[in-house]
Amino acid sequence: MRSKSRLVAVATVALSITAALVGCSSNDSNGASASKDFTFWSFTGINAKADVQAYEKAHPGVHIKLTEVGSSTDTAQALTTALAGGKVPDLVLIQGADLPKFVENPDNFVDLNTLGAKKIKSDYAPAIWSQSVASGGQVLGVPTDVGGMALSYRKDLFAAAGLPTDPAAVSALMPTWQDYLKVGKEYTEKTGKPFLDNAETSIFYQMIGQGSQQFYNNKTRKLDYDNATIKTAFNTSVEAVEDGLSANLTSFSTGWSAGLQKGAFATIATPSWMLGSIKSNAPDTSGDWAIAKIPGSSGNWGGSYLAIPKRAAHVQAAWDYIKNSQSPTSQLNHFLDSGSLPTTVANYTNEKLLAKTDSFFSGAQIGKIFTESVAGLKPFYVGPDSAQIGTDFQNAIINLENKKVSADQAWSSALSSIKQDVAK
């Protein structure tokens, strides 16, 4: 989704290099001259330089030429150009929303199964790992992080509306999205204020990620974007807008940032990496927030993958970096240091992770809540046009919020846009 790709720059990427790292091999599998050195393309804004320096320190003699290309979109565009005939990096970070188009052309990348990916596959959450697997079974990337979901809410605003404020009670109050709307209507009727920031990301985007199928048929991998799951998510979003529950503030817009500070809405569907955005945009609200389970229980928003282009000069050195920097131990330490949620399932029962809390959010058990949402994810196929289709649906909801279309027109306008933007 375009909204997703706009927001990923905020997401923290798990590239931490910590203890238990092993040495690099001196022989590259593609027959290039033996070297421990390699080139690495990454995003800006995620402090990849610090991680590279830590890796080099732990591996004397290894030198990594890091290029922070730009945003995640810039990096994907640069990679596309390089794959068409330019000089490719040995290692590249690809944001999850950009990954499907690359997965459609697996011959452009090293199949990580040939380097040992089969041996580490079981370390990772199946729904996250599956996104980098091509139709022929080739594994093109290893997931670095995941944006597990929760519901952030303002305790003070809930209390003023006579609603419970304890996280367990709030979670029990809204286990489903219909329950969420019911509570939202009660809140809005009592306060005259919106219940959520916007319907396109806090409802629609979350609901379509909780099922076993999204915009494509999992078996045939053919388009199927007007199925029951999508219609239900869209209609639920429309209902929220029609009932005045949405503040109509696009995520990360100037109005959204100001709304966080002013209490313009009481709830936000929050990926783990968004906690930092709430803190930076509304520093004076520390202690006013708490975190409950996301309605529907599961969810993911964000995440990236490390991949090796087929013409890479130093394949083995790049693979050693992937294998070591994304091990369960390294991912756990990165979460404890910076909050980047692991993709390695062993960590979801780790006592240190589960004990992690956040005082800004009233001591919320962020390790436990966010990982539980990831554990409930179901694998589904994400196709090359999933991002565009999601954008068209979300734009229709935004247009409804801005009164550019009616509720009756919203669905048909979304389908019309998809037919124009996506080739059948």
- Predicted confidence at residue 120, as pLDDT, reads 97
Which pLDDT does position 337 carry in this prediction?
84
Q: Please tell me the total count of domains within the chain.
A: 2
Segment 234-238 mean pLDDT? 98
Res 175 pLDDT > 70: yes
Distance CA 245, CA 243 (A): 6
Q: Which amino acid is at 93?
A: L
Are 376 and 395 part of one and the same domain?
A: yes
In this prediction, residue 259 carries a pLDDT of 97
pLDDT tens, position by position, 359-395:
999 999 999 999 999 988 989 999 999 999 999 999 9
Closest by CA position to 278, among listed 251, 249, 240: 251
pLDDT at residue 3 greater than cutoff 90? no
pLDDT for the residue 33: 45
49-63, 79-93, 228-242 — which is least confidently predicted? 49-63
Return d(Cα 330, Cα 17) in angstroms, integer: 6
User: What are the start-end ranges of the E strands in 113-235?
Assistant: 142-143, 149-154
Residues 69 and 22 in one domain: yes
CB atoms within 10 A of CB 67: 14
Strand segments (E) across 177-230: none
Q: Report the SS3 class of residue 69.
A: strand
Nearest to 289 by CA among 141, 153, 181: 153
169 and 204 together in one domain = yes
* pLDDT level of residue 320 (50, 70, 90 thresholds): very high
Whose tokens are 């936000």? That residue is 268
Say whether 94 sits in a helix, a strand or coil.
strand
Residues 167, 195, single domain; the answer is: yes
Name the residue among 365, 370, 362 with its Cα closest to residue 340: 370
Cβ-contact 81, 75 below 8 angstroms: no
Among 331, 349, 367, the domain boundary falls at 349
The pLDDT value recorded for residue 334 is 87
CB 271 within 8 Å of CB 110? no
Q: Are residues 171 and 96 in the same domain?
A: no
Mapped onto helix, strand or coil, the DSSP state of residue 238 is helix
Q: Examine the domain organization and report whether 280 and 172 are in the same domain.
A: yes
User: Sorting pLDDT into bands at 50, 70 and 90, what band is 1?
Assistant: very low
| Shared domain check, 169 and 61 | no
Tokens 């520093």, located at residue: 283
pLDDT, tens digit, for every residue of 180-213?
999 999 999 999 999 999 999 999 999 999 999 9
Q: Are 240 and 316 within one domain?
A: no
- Where a domain ends, among 325, 349, 373? 349
SS3 label, residue 405: coil
Q: What is the mean pLDDT of residues 163-185?
A: 98
Q: How high does pLDDT run on average in the chain?
A: 91
Same domain, 107 and 14: yes
Residue pair 194/265 in contact by the 8 Å Cβ criterion: yes
Is the model's pLDDT at 16 over the cut of 70?
Answer: no
Backbone angles phi, psi at 267, to 5 degrees: -140, 150
Q: What are phi and psi of 48, to 5 degrees?
A: -65, -30
Cα(284)–Cα(286) distance, rounded to whole angstroms?
6
As a whole number of angstroms, the distance between CA 302 and CA 290 comes to 22
pLDDT given for residue 375 in this prediction? 87
The DSSP call for residue 374 is H
Whole-number Å distance between alpha carbons of 197 and 250:
7
Given a cut of 50, whether residue 163 has pLDDT beyond it is yes
H or E segment to which residue 286 belongs: none
Q: What's the CATH number where 390 sits?
A: 3.40.190.10
Give whole-number Cα distances, 267 to 60, 139, 179, 253, 263, in Å: 48, 38, 14, 16, 10
The answer on 63 and 84 residing in a single domain is yes
**pTM of whole model > 0.85?**
yes
Class of residue 118 by CB neighbours under 10 A (exposed 0-12, middle 13-18, buried 19+): exposed
Bridge partners of 306, per DSSP, are: 93, 142
Q: Which residues on neighbouring strands pair with residue 300, listed in sequence order?
A: 148
Lowest mean pLDDT across 41-55, 163-177, 353-367, 378-392: 41-55
Q: At what angle do helices 407-421 and 386-401 cross, to 10 degrees?
A: 150
Query: What is the per-residue pLDDT for 12?
Result: 38
Is the same domain home to 128 and 155?
Answer: no
> What would the pLDDT profile of 94-149 be if each residue is shown by its tens digit?
999 999 999 999 999 999 999 999 999 999 999 999 999 999 999 999 999 999 99
List the domain range (segments joined by +) for residue 45.
2-146+302-349
CA distance 321 to 102: 21
Q: How far apart are CA 327 and CA 323, in angstroms?
A: 6
Residues 282 and 308 in one domain: no
